[in-house]
Amino acid sequence: MLTAPLLKALNEQINHEMFSSYLYLSMAAYCEAKNFSGFAQWMRMQSSEETKHAMKLYEYVHSRGSAVTLLAIAQPPTEFHFPVKMFEQVVEHERKISGSITKLYELAIKENDYPTQVMLQWFITEQVEEEKTAVGIVEQLKMVGDSPVSIMMMDRQLGARSNG
């Protein structure tokens, strides 16, 4: 069984992951409406990845003999500054998520919960990857500039993402 503080924090992390999924789906909808189907595809895949993160935690909580309590998911923003600022927002959001994973890890240490520490190591590695990917896209977008040809090129490149 998980300790009460750890269960509470894991439930909150599930909520953060679900909000992340919602945020990226909202970004996808925004891109879709602007007819940038490649950017939209990337965001949809990102959204689906976040749902998987939430489910990984959901399954973990149950595997420890505790029960998940789902919390309300906040409404994500619906307007974004396309495209550089939108991806800077992704970077900023992922850094916030990395921070909450770190806090969760610190709590698992405090609670002497070794299995949770081991489980969270996957998330720590994943966050490094997520931040790196988002920073890379921001840098690429800045490099190619905002000409329609460059944006179309990036749209095609990001649309090739097929895993989420």
Smallest separation (angstroms) from ligand FEO to the CB of 108 = 17
Binding residues with ligand FEO: total (CB under 6 A): 7
- Kindly state whether residue 97 participates in binding ligand FEO, applying the rule CB under 6 A: yes
Residue 138 CB, nearest approach to ligand FEO (Å): 15
Among 9, 38, 42, 50, which residue interacts with ligand FEO (rule: CB under 6 A)? 50
The Cα 40–Cα 33 span in angstroms is 9
Q: Is residue 57 involved in binding ligand FEO (CB under 6 A)? A: no
In the block, which residue shows the tokens 């931040």?
A: 131
Question: Contact at 8 Å (CB) between 64 and 1?
Answer: yes
In angstroms, rounded to a whole number, what is the distance separating the alpha carbons of residues 148 and 79?
20
Quick one: CA dihedral 121, 127, 129, 130, positive or negative? positive
Name residue 9's amino acid: A
Binding of ligand FEO at residue 53 (CB under 6 A)?
yes
Residue from the set 2, 10, 14, 17 that interacts with ligand FEO by CB under 6 A: 17
Report which residue's Cβ sits closest to ligand FEO.
53
User: HSE on the CB side for 72, CA within 13 Å?
Assistant: 3
Binding site for ligand FEO (CB under 6 A): 17, 20, 50, 53, 94, 97, 130
